[in-house]
Structure 1
Amino acid sequence: MKKCTPKEQSGPFIPDNHFLIESLEQQKKEQAILLELSSIIAGAKNRQDLRTAITDQLPGLFGGRYYTLCLINEDGVTHSPFLYTAENNIPYRGETPIIVSSHPVNDGIFDRALASEEPLLIDLHTAMKASTVPRYIYRWFNAGIREMLLVKISGGGIPVGVLYLYGEKNGSFQAEKFRLFKCIADILGTGFRNILLNETMERQLREIRKYRKQEDSDAAGLQEGTKQHSDIKDFIGTSRGIQNILTIMERVAPSDSTVLLLGETGTGKEVIAGAIHAASPRRHNRMIKVNCAALPHSLFESELFGHEKGAFTGAIQRRIGKFELAENSTLFLDEIGEIPMEFQAKLLRVLQEKEIERIGGKGVIKVNVRIIAATNRNLAEEVKAGNFRHDLYYRLNVVPITIPPLRNRKEDIPALVTHFIRRYTSVNAKKAPVITDKVMESLMQYDWPGNVRELEHLLERSMLLSKEGALHIDIPGTDHKILLPDEERSFSIVPLATMERDYILKVVRLCNGRIAGPNGAAAKLRMPSTTLNSRMQKLGIKKEHFSIRGTLRKADII
């Protein structure tokens, strides 16, 4: 008798439910794992708790050996490890560790993981054939790693980092577990944000306790240029941006390298310059300061290089310039971007040759001066616009330090408030006021366009005007709003230089491009033609801007 095949058997076909049962069991296991991890990560209060949770669960669960959780840094262009396998478990080759400080976000690996919505599997042997390969790929490969499984970490819906899992052989990671890996990454996104918040709060509390415990009679810590300049480590600020700056300051202070401080007005560039000088071998000599924006153009050379008696009308005696005064010390050139073009070449020569010539002098004078320059301008853009010499820029830009504005490091506000309150409590012989939570919240929410200087002056004014007890602070823009007429409401604020440039252009066009002469723009503006030409050059006004005859009338001039 012929044996029937399944298709020939009578009755309905009953499928095998074994695969369906296994799939349901797998889903239950994954749900149990996610619930357990969620509970552990939610209870983690610091990095060590989170590291322990990940180390105990992730590598064995997915067949990996090591892991790294990297986050995008504040600069937005590099990433650094936030959590990684315990250091004694990381393989080394010679003296080079696997974990390094930072790498570019667009390194060909990290950015691919950020752009992928699903876990990304990387074969190291294949990755090393690319035209650009991150350094850590070679290091992990030399340590015996053959595969990496990467997944994007998001915080609040924004990509903030990548979780790396490393396998020692090809095929270490199974595709059916990728979905679970992605779910765990979502949980970690919430976990590490809580850790960062806790760390920030703990730093703020430590700073507040530290400054409250200091003696009120410690006047050295209350005067600018003394305590805060005596030790870089005493510099106020616990944010990541300030801590990075302090690290750079500690490294460059012992050297003679030129430092260029960049940042908005009021961020503390002069304070940082003083701290670098105080930590340098030149600290026993007074740092010489020059505000380049406050010097008339005609006095630049005399102020910096000095002059001999009779060198020019009014030179009734010899004058020693700032470079000579700063011998074996530091010369701080504040607002370096304001130096006129005609003087920039002379300054460049001094920086290159380390020698000066007094006006009217007959020989050169060797100088041993360390330069620290500062500006609130974007010098790179000034170079492109032709307002700053590119060779002088590169001579100054040896060690650039960009100081973040206060609105980008608000976690430093509590410590700064405590510091300034203590300063003006001592100066004004007043009892320290109480800072309520509402006041502190208002200070934290304000954007501080004037940065630390604005905060300091606001606290000084508030302490003078407040009675004993709670401190009353009027945050700019929050109270005392004035109703303006319609004409003033439509008024828009523009930089003063922009208004001056537009006005000069109107006058020059009205004069058909003529600068000198009785009917020229200089005569109408009541200034020498040489001064007007210099001002136009500084404002970037060129001949092509007014060469075409305009149709302005006299009434067009304000």
Structure 2
Amino acid sequence: MKQGNMMVEFLLSLSNDIALIRDKDDFLRVLRERLKEVIHFNDIVINIFGDDGKSLVPYLYYSEGRRRHHPAFQRSGHSKLGNDHIFEAVMASEQPLVFNVRKLLQTKSPPPYIPLFRETGIVEFSGIRLRTATQEIGCLFLFSEQTGTFPDPVLQIIKGVSHQLSIALANILANDRIATQLKEIESYKQRLENEPQYQQKEIAHADIVGNSREMQQVFRLISRVAPADSTVLILGETGTGKELISRAIHNQSPRRDKLLVKVNCAVLAANLIESELFGHEKGAFTGAIERRIGKFELAHNGTLFLDEIGELPLELQAKLLRVLQEKEIERIGGRNPIRVDVRIIAATNRDLKKEVAAGRFRRDLFYRLDVFPIVVPPLRERKDEIPELADYFIQRFVRRAGKPAMRLGETVREEMMAYHWPGNVRELEHLIERSVLLTSGTVIEQLFMPAAITKEIFVRKSH
């Protein structure tokens, strides 16, 4: 009776210590110091479920013996349900189990780590599953270099504290995930917060180059709409500088000190765009192992640039329309709406009116976005700007490459004026960069164009 009372007192004391656990170090200390008072084990390993929900990976490891610095022993804790009958047995049992290493070696197909246990002195070990009322966490193993370490009274102790250990471990893992997520969000936001300063500097150096009548009209529209909070729809072919226009609008707006967040609707898989835009809660769908903050929340009080909006799937178009109307979002799997104050700038190289007529773009969303359209003309319609743009890019890439000043030869200028430029300003920029890097003198006498481009120029000249 007296021994029973002592055991109850021990369990109560141990439970109090477990309740005070705050991190991984506390957890290990309680296991190593307090359990040692009643169990003469040598090693501790805790395995937790990986991201796939099936693999068990080592989370916490401690050894007193020769295995302490044995890398193979530490790696041996990796397993996958369906491939390891020891882990499966532990996870299927409500009670702690005991395994004898010698007997396991006599079985038909012992797991590959069992011979390693024998080589490093382990004689027997006990394992118990760790879970809370709502979560399967993993399992705890205690290893011993002696036989008879785990009699029934000891197993009852292990069983008695497993629930409290599970809760403490679940809290630690949750805190770790939150800390990791907050760190990632902060890192991402700092990266974005630096971006407007860089963009303002670029624009201050005339990154948007163009003296044509068409581009002067674009500049006037930017100056008119930037101070307002109106939604802007930027239309133009690929490579005309739609993203640069969005940056100019943001940097000249009252939101210039907040974030400009970009989402390219064309490069995300359809099943990822909703999570990218609105975020999701942990467990909202398979693979959602932690909460994700969406781009709308990141852009709160700032600007959200939806590039290639014409590629947005129809089902997402309806959700985007609702956000624009109600100015609130819901994370996937969330229950409470979240208010957001975001200015929308969208861009596309598609003819959205034709997309609406074809049933590929919602009419109501088009009218919601088409508040203040800005059309960026293609380069072939403003060819008089090509020499100015080329000179600007030459100066930029010469400076970056650390080369002496360069200029275009007359023949090269004629070739550039004869070309159709389907890739617009971006194509010109890349061509100049390549030509600067491949030119050894101070005059660019040859455009290092792909063969197809050279052929097109030759054909146009011959006509």
TM-score by length of 1: 0.45
**How far apart, in 2, do the equivalents of 1:256 and 1:345 lie?**
22
Amino acid across the alignment from 1:342: E
Amino acid across the alignment from 1:350: V
Corresponding residue for 2:39? Answer: none
Corresponding residue for 2:403? Answer: 430
Could you list the structure 1 runs, at least 4 aligned residues long, displaced by more than 4 angstroms after superposition: 475-478
Corresponding residue for 1:301? Answer: 274
The equivalences for 1:42-441 within 5 A come to: 225-230=199-204, 235-441=208-414
Using the TM superposition, give the Cα deviation of residue 426 of structure 1 relative to its aligned residue in structure 2, in angstroms. Answer: 1.0
Using the TM superposition, give the Cα deviation of residue 445 of structure 1 relative to its aligned residue in structure 2, in angstroms. Answer: 1.7
Corresponding residue for 2:424? Answer: 451
Secondary structure of the structure 1 residue equivalent to 2:431: helix
**How far apart, in 2, do the equivalents of 1:354 and 1:401 lie?**
24
Q: Deviations 1:205-255 (Å, cap 9, x if unpaired)?
A: xxxxxxxxxxxxxxxxxx973434348x76310000000010010000001
Secondary structure of the structure 1 residue equivalent to 2:407: coil
Corresponding residue for 1:67? Answer: none
Amino acid across the alignment from 2:381: N
Using the TM superposition, give the Cα deviation of residue 271 of structure 1 relative to its aligned residue in structure 2, in angstroms. Answer: 0.5
In the superposition, relative to structure 1, how do residues 399 and 388 fare at CA in structure 2: closer, same or farther (>3 Å)? Answer: same
Using the TM superposition, give the Cα deviation of residue 317 of structure 1 relative to its aligned residue in structure 2, in angstroms. Answer: 1.0
**How far apart, in 2, do the equivalents of 1:234 and 1:293 lie?**
25
The equivalences for 1:457-472 within 5 A come to: 457-471=430-444, 472=446
Amino acid across the alignment from 2:223: E
**How far apart, in 2, do the equivalents of 1:380 and 1:259 lie?**
16
Secondary structure of the structure 2 residue equivalent to 1:319: coil
Corresponding residue for 1:91? Answer: none
Secondary structure of the structure 2 residue equivalent to 1:225: helix
In the superposition, relative to structure 1, how do residues 329 and 441 fare at CA in structure 2: closer, same or farther (>3 Å)? Answer: same
What is the aligned length?
Answer: 258
**How far apart, in 2, do the equivalents of 1:404 and 1:348 lie?**
28
**How far apart, in 2, do the equivalents of 1:265 and 1:348 lie?**
25
**How far apart, in 2, do the equivalents of 1:323 and 1:417 lie?**
37
Using the TM superposition, give the Cα deviation of residue 475 of structure 1 relative to its aligned residue in structure 2, in angstroms. Answer: 4.7
Secondary structure of the structure 1 residue equivalent to 2:303: strand
**How far apart, in 2, do the equivalents of 1:385 and 1:361 lie?**
34
Contact kept, 8 Å, 1:228 with 1:275, in 2: the verdict is no
Secondary structure of the structure 1 residue equivalent to 2:373: strand
Q: Deviations 1:446-476 (Å, cap 9, x if unpaired)?
A: 1101000000000011111111221121455
Q: Deviations 1:393-424 (Å, cap 9, x if unpaired)?
A: 00000001111100000111122111111110
Amino acid across the alignment from 2:217: N
In the superposition, relative to structure 1, how do residues 234 and 464 fare at CA in structure 2: closer, same or farther (>3 Å)? Answer: closer
Amino acid across the alignment from 2:427: E
Secondary structure of the structure 2 residue equivalent to 1:373: strand
Secondary structure of the structure 2 residue equivalent to 1:307: coil
Contact kept, 8 Å, 1:287 with 1:330, in 2: the verdict is yes
In the superposition, relative to structure 1, how do residues 480 and 391 fare at CA in structure 2: closer, same or farther (>3 Å)? Answer: closer
Amino acid across the alignment from 1:229: I
**How far apart, in 1, do the equivalents of 2:401 and 2:200 lie?**
19
**How far apart, in 2, do the equivalents of 1:255 and 1:364 lie?**
26
Secondary structure of the structure 2 residue equivalent to 1:290: strand
**How far apart, in 2, do the equivalents of 1:464 and 1:234 lie?**
21
Amino acid across the alignment from 2:344: I
The equivalences for 1:474-485 within 5 A come to: 474-475=448-449, 477=452, 479=454
**How far apart, in 2, do the equivalents of 1:468 and 1:315 lie?**
56
Using the TM superposition, give the Cα deviation of residue 434 of structure 1 relative to its aligned residue in structure 2, in angstroms. Answer: 2.6
**How far apart, in 2, do the equivalents of 1:447 and 1:299 lie?**
37
Using the TM superposition, give the Cα deviation of residue 432 of structure 1 relative to its aligned residue in structure 2, in angstroms. Answer: 1.8
In the superposition, relative to structure 1, how do residues 278 and 411 fare at CA in structure 2: closer, same or farther (>3 Å)? Answer: same
Contact kept, 8 Å, 1:310 with 1:316, in 2: the verdict is yes
In the superposition, relative to structure 1, how do residues 282 and 478 fare at CA in structure 2: closer, same or farther (>3 Å)? Answer: closer
Amino acid across the alignment from 2:390: V
Q: Deviations 1:142-167 (Å, cap 9, x if unpaired)?
A: xxxxxxxxxxxxxxxxxxxxxxxxxx
Using the TM superposition, give the Cα deviation of residue 286 of structure 1 relative to its aligned residue in structure 2, in angstroms. Answer: 2.3
**How far apart, in 2, do the equivalents of 1:279 and 1:479 lie?**
40
Secondary structure of the structure 2 residue equivalent to 1:380: helix
TM-score by length of 2: 0.54
Q: Deviations 1:250-304 (Å, cap 9, x if unpaired)?
A: 0000011000010100000000001111101111112100000011111111110
**How far apart, in 2, do the equivalents of 1:369 and 1:436 lie?**
48
**How far apart, in 1, do the equivalents of 2:334 and 2:371 lie?**
31
- Consecutive unaligned residues of structure 2, counting only runs of 5 or more, are 1-196, 457-463
Contact kept, 8 Å, 1:406 with 1:451, in 2: the verdict is yes
**How far apart, in 2, do the equivalents of 1:364 and 1:292 lie?**
23
In the superposition, relative to structure 1, how do residues 329 and 459 fare at CA in structure 2: closer, same or farther (>3 Å)? Answer: same
Secondary structure of the structure 2 residue equivalent to 1:444: helix
Secondary structure of the structure 2 residue equivalent to 1:401: strand
